[in-house]
Structure 1
Amino acid sequence: MERLALHTRLRPGCEETYDREHATIPPALESAMRANGVRSWRIFRDGLDLFHFVEVEDYAALQAALKDDPADQAWQRQMNRLLDGDFDKSSGGLRRVWEMT
Structure 2
Amino acid sequence: MDRIALHTKVARGKEAEYAAAHDAIPTELVDALREAGVHTWRIWRDGQELFHVIECDDYAHMRNFLRDHPANVPWQARMSELLEVEDDYSGGDRGIVQVWELPDV
Q: TM-score, normalised by structure 1?
A: 0.93
SS of the aligned residue for 1:73 comes to: helix
Q: Provide structure 2 residue ranges, at least 5 long, that are not aligned to the other structure.
A: none
**2:36 is aligned with 1:31:** no
Q: Give structure 1 regions of 4+ aligned residues with deviation exceeding 4 angstroms.
A: none
* Superimposed CA distance per residue, residues 15-67 of structure 1 (whole angstroms, 9 cap, x where no aligned partner): 11111111231101110110111000000000000000000000111111112
Q: Give the % identical residues.
A: 44
Specify the alignment match of 1:77 in structure 2: 77
Could you tell which deviates more after superposition, 86-95 or 5-14? 86-95
- Asked if structure 2 preserves the Cα contact closer than 8 Å seen for 1:10 and 1:84, the reply is yes
Specify the alignment match of 1:2 in structure 2: 2
Question: How many residues are paired up?
Answer: 101
| CA-based RMSD | 1.3
Could you tell which deviates more after superposition, 73-82 or 15-24? 15-24
Instruction: Write the distance in 2 (CA, Å) between the matches of 1:12 and 1:59.
Output: 29
- Equivalent positions of 1:1-101 (< 5 A) are 1-89=1-89, 90=91, 91-101=93-103
Q: TM-score, normalised by structure 2?
A: 0.89
Instruction: Write the distance in 1 (CA, Å) between the matches of 2:61 and 2:29.
Output: 16
Deviation at 1:100, TM superposition (A): 1.5
